[in-house]
Amino acid sequence: MNVQIKVLLGDITTSDTEAIVNAANTNLLAGSGVCGAIFKAAGYEELQAECNKLSPIKTGDAVVTNGYNLKAKYVIHTAGPIYKSQTDAIYLRNSYYNSLLAAESNYITSISFPSISTGIYGYPIADASIVAINAIFEYFNDYPESKIKEVRFYLFDDYTFSIYQSEYERKMKELLKNEQ
């Protein structure tokens, strides 16, 4: 696996990866949370106009727009699941996996993710972190020749950051153990 994975505490709108991922809704309408912050930083009108041409999308799908005033050249919009039960895990996994597929097909080599679905959509953070980290490893296991070189997580608060960091460390230890 040639990809570098980084788990960071911070605001995704400041990321200088080629693409940042938006935790969107299926209508691709500017909302609050990370979505609101991305629309604000990108420039609401231009981003909404492009989103309107691509909406609606299905839960777990991902589409690409320009990043406009963001440092990131592209925004990948994915609609995570609204949490009801653990059976939503596949949709959350699809959001990460399909965002990476969308990046790949647009020749994007670096990408930043927020913690999809764990704000307004209510997905429990510990469960979501397992799904998120596993989805990234699953993708690079499926596509060992991927051109994506860097994946970052931008977690917005200390608690979410610490959960993702421990899950990432746990996963790395598990992989190392399996290699021995």
The dihedral region occupied by 22, where left means phi > 0, alpha psi between -120 and 50, and beta the remainder, is: beta
Closest by alpha carbon to 12, among 129, 136, 153? 153
Positive or negative torsion for Cα 129, 132, 137, 141: positive
Residues 106-135 that bind ligand AR6 (CB under 6 A): 114-121
Q: Least distance from C-beta 104 to ligand AR6, angstroms?
A: 22
Q: What letter represents residue 172's amino acid?
A: M
- Should residue 67 be labelled a site residue for ligand AR6 when binding is judged by CB under 6 A? no
Is 65 near ligand AR6 (CB under 6 A)? no
Residue 63 binds ligand AR6, judged by CB under 6 A: no
**Candidates 18-26, 43-51, 66-74, 85-93; binding stretch for ligand AR6 (CB under 6 A):** 18-26
| Alpha carbons 118 and 83: distance in angstroms, whole number | 8
Residues between 24 and 43 with contacts to ligand AR6, criterion CB under 6 A:
24-25, 31-35, 37
Q: What is the nearest approach in angstroms of ligand AR6 to the Cβ of residue 139?
A: 19
Report, in Å, the least distance between residue 95 CB and ligand AR6. 9
Cβ contact 73:19 at 8 Å: yes
CA 127 to chain centre: 15
Residues that bind ligand AR6 (CB under 6 A): 11-13, 23-25, 31-35, 37, 80, 114-121, 154, 156-157, 160
